[in-house]
Each structure stands twice: as C-alpha cells, then as structure tokens.
Amino acid sequence: MDNKRDRSVGNKYLIILMFLMLLFNACKEDKKEDSVKEEITVVNAPKDIFEFGFNLNNYVVKRDTVKSGESFGQILEQNKIGYPKIFHIAEKTKETYNIARFFQKGKPYTILCSKDSLELPESFIYQPNKEEYIVINFKDSIHAFKSRKPITYIEKTVTGIITSSISETLDAKGISPVLTNKLADDIYAWTIDFRRLQKGDRFKVIYTDKYIDDSIYGGIHDVKAAYFEHNNEPFYAFQFETDSVKGIIDYFNDEAKNLRRAFLKAPVKFSRISSRYNLRRRIAVYGYKVRAHKGTDFAAPIDTPIMATANGTVTKSERRGGNGNYVKIRHNATYETQYLHMRKRNVKVGQFVKQGDVIGWVGMTGNTGGPHVCYRFWVNGKQVDPFKQKLPEAKPISDSLKARYLEYIKPIKVQLDSIQFDEDVPEEHFNENLITQNF
C-alpha cells in the first residue's frame, strides 16, 4: 500500500514538473516573439516638399544669397559648371530673362543638384523679390521661365479709439504702420489732419493682408473701406475703381464725393522741407547774391521713393547739368511738376503715371549739398509756389458711374456699420475672411 501511495505521489509531482516546463517554454517563446517585434522598425517614406514647382526630395538642395560683386557665372562655376556651358546658359536664357542684368546683392537663390555622389546642378532658381522667382533648367535642354508664388489675400477688420495718436493705437494692436500711412496719406490726407486728432476719436477699417505661399506675410495689400469719427463728425471712405484701363482707384465718401485732391502735398513721405520756394534767396557760396529758388526742397535719405504728386504723362526723364537725374510730368493743360536730383529714375518719356506711383529715388545728382528732391510746380507755363496755390480737387465721379458706385457700396457700408468699436466688445477682435487667391 505504501509503495502504491509513493508511486501516486511521484506521478503527481512528475505531472506538475512537466506542466511547469511547458509553461516556462511558452513564456520563452512569447519573449522571443516580443524581442523580434521590438526589432521591427517601420520606415515611412519622406513627405513630399514642393517649392518652385519641384519636389525637393528628389534633389540635393543648396540655398544661399548673392554676395557683393558675385555674378551668376561665378556661382555656377563654384558649383561644378564650366565656362563654356555657363556662356551657353546665359545666351540661351537672355531673351526670356537676362539674369546677369538683374543679379543683386542679398537676393536669395536655390540650386537643385542631382541626388548622387556627383551632386551636379540641374536647376537654378533666383528670387528677385518675395513673390517672383526665375527658374533656369539646364539638366537636358536649357530653358528659363519666370513665375510667381501663390498669393492669398485675407480680409480683416480693425477698430480703435484714439488716446494719443493713430500710429500708437494701431501699433498697440500689432498692426503694420503701413495701415497708418494709408489712412493718413492716401485716404484722409485732405479731410482729416492726423496731427490734430482728438482723444476719443475712433475708427474702423476693412483691409486685406497679403500672404505668400500661405506662410510668408507680404504686408497690407489695400484698404477696402474705412470709417473715422473725428470731433463727433463721421467720415466714410470706400475704395472704387474709376478707370479700369489706366487702373485709377480713388476713395469716395458715402455721398460719392472724392476724398483726395488733384495733387499730393509732397512727393516724398517722412521728409522735411529744407528750403522753400524763394525768389530772393541769397546763398553764401555765391557771395550772398540773389539766386532765385523756384522749387521746394524736401530733405530725405538716399533711396527714399519719390512719388508723382498727381496723375499725368512723363514729358522728360533724363540727366542734365545742375538738375542731375530728373523727371517732368504734364498733368493737364494747366499743371506740370518736376522732380530733381534723383539717384535713379523709374519712368520713361510718354509713360502715364498715377498719383503716388514711384517715379524715382532720392539722390544727390547735379548741384546739391545733400540728399533731397527739389520739387518744382508750373501753372500755365510759369513756376510757382505750390503751397500758395488753390489746387483743384480730384476729378469728381462721373454721373454714369455715380449710380453704380452708390449701389456698389451698399453692402460694404452695412458691413462697416455692423463692426463694433472696442468699447462695445470685451476684447480686441479681428474678423478674418479668405476672399481670393491668385496664382
């Protein structure tokens, strides 16, 4: 009996031992599978990155900016392209875009190279500004083309209450100073003196911001409409195109009256008058002899843009004697203006220019002791002091356009009137609305 009991107990222990061994081996297998699983790494394909119409993942991408004195040919030579091919590239693409002529220091460029050990250049992309780019391909056949990055315009609104100045009010909201300039210089220059705003004056503006490639801020594009309450008096302004052929855009109030005058007050912004029109001026360098000064000098830094003060046609654009580089514009049968001492001219004879167009840049060419533009003004062929003239208002809207204008501004006025001022809402607000996209 004892032997039977001992054998029975032994069998039980044997069964338990075998079960434990099977369990141990199963755990080992699970751990082995887990270790195998841990060693498996999933590699995702790189996300496509497109720019300038190329998938950049297919190239070795080299980016840089043009250095002082550096030429297009030098950059290509530094990137393994010989001069015979460089000359061929330059000649072949000259008619499409003469890149050698417009190559400028500080401008960015991108070279797309083959994705192999040689890394030979296949395309060269030059960016003369934020929006445009020039592509020169020379992998197989040589060709060039000019294109633009996609531009997105976002409509926004902003309101404010004046406590000191409009620039401080907008700056506190993080709004570009360009909006201040547009309101003060382009829209309300002749109806509101922004140097004499009152505390409590308030405004609201509908404007559009520009974005390049959906990510690069391109600045304020334009102002669609504005409302300014100055000394408790309302001033509406609505943008409206009066001449689609010449591209003339003006601002009118809610009764279709043009807000601007025919002439700007000055041909440059942020300047000071360094010498006025004076027919009895005496100058020490000339022995204090009377030498009439028939212009008004606006001192400004070199390269400050010079603007046409009114719509007109360029009659002279040249460099001559004491005038240096200068431009003369005929505005109508009565008025002409002239702009002297430019560093560089930006218009040609016969060209039609609109008020505010950049016609050149401030310089020191001709007889001048410092950077400025000498602004001269003619009335019926005689030079006069523009500040003593009763200058005409801008051309009123035609009867045929007036009805269309009043109908056009109806929904915009409703939109403007519905915008709440800052004191009527708990915090600053900006209403954004995607309005258009150009390619």
pLDDT in tens, 60-72: 999 999 998 898 8
Identify the residue with better confidence: 438 or 338: 338
Pair 391, 266: CB distance under 8 Å: no
Q: Who contacts 207 (Cβ-Cβ below 8 Å, separation ≥6)?
A: 155, 156, 157, 158, 179, 182, 220, 221, 222, 223, 224
pLDDT band at 279 (very low <50, low <70, confident <90, very high): low
Pure H helices in 142-252: 166-172, 177-181
Domain 50-148 falls in which CATH fold?
Nuclear Transport Factor 2; Chain: A, (3.10.450)
pLDDT average, residue stretch 165-185 = 89
Q: Average pLDDT of 118-143? A: 90
Average pLDDT score over residue span 371-393: 89
Q: How distant, in Å, are the alpha carbons of 344, 359, 391 from that of 314?
A: 15, 9, 20
Considering the chain, what percentage of its residues have pLDDT values greater than 70?
A: 82
Residue 358 has pLDDT above 60, yes or no: yes
Q: Higher model confidence: residue 193 or residue 251?
A: 251
Mean pLDDT, residues 7-23: 62
Tell me the CATH number for domain 151-260+396-438.
3.10.450.350
Distances (CA, A) of 200 to 165, 169, 203, 423: 10, 11, 10, 11
50-148 and 272-388 share one fold = no
CA dihedral (350, 134, 142, 100) in degrees, to 10, reads 60
Residue 328 has pLDDT above 90, yes or no: yes
Mean pLDDT of the chain: 83
pLDDT band (50, 70, 90) for residue 83 = confident
Three-point CA angle 200, 206, 212, nearest 5°: 130
More confident residue, 17 or 410: 410
What pLDDT, on a 0 to 100 scale, did the predictor assign at position 20? Answer: 64
Positive or negative, the Cα torsion across 27, 31, 32, 33? positive
CA angle 94, 98, 100 (to 5 degrees): 120
pLDDT(35) > 90: no
Q: What are 44's two structure tokens?
A: 């995702």
Q: What is the pLDDT of residue 13?
A: 61
Residue 423, pLDDT score? 62
Q: Where are the domains of the chain?
A: 50-148, 151-260+396-438, 272-388
**Confidence at residue 140, expressed as pLDDT on a 0 to 100 scale:** 81
What's the average model confidence in pLDDT over 238-243?
91
Higher pLDDT, 110 or 432: 110
pLDDT at 42 over 80: no
- 272-388 CATH fold: Glucose Permease (Domain IIA) (2.70.70)
* Residue 428 banded pLDDT, cuts 50, 70, 90: very low
Q: What is the pLDDT of residues 396-426, one digit of tens each?
A: 788 889 999 999 999 999 999 999 987 654 4
Q: What is the pLDDT of residue 400?
A: 86
Whole-structure pTM value: 0.63
Tell which wins on pLDDT, 177 or 439: 177
How long is the chain? 439
Residue 6 is predicted with a pLDDT of 54
Cross-strand partners of 223: 207
Q: In what order do the strands lie in the sheet with 121-126?
A: 60-65, 108-113, 121-126, 132-137, 143-148
| Residue 122 pLDDT grade (very low, low, confident, very high; cuts 50, 70, 90) | very high
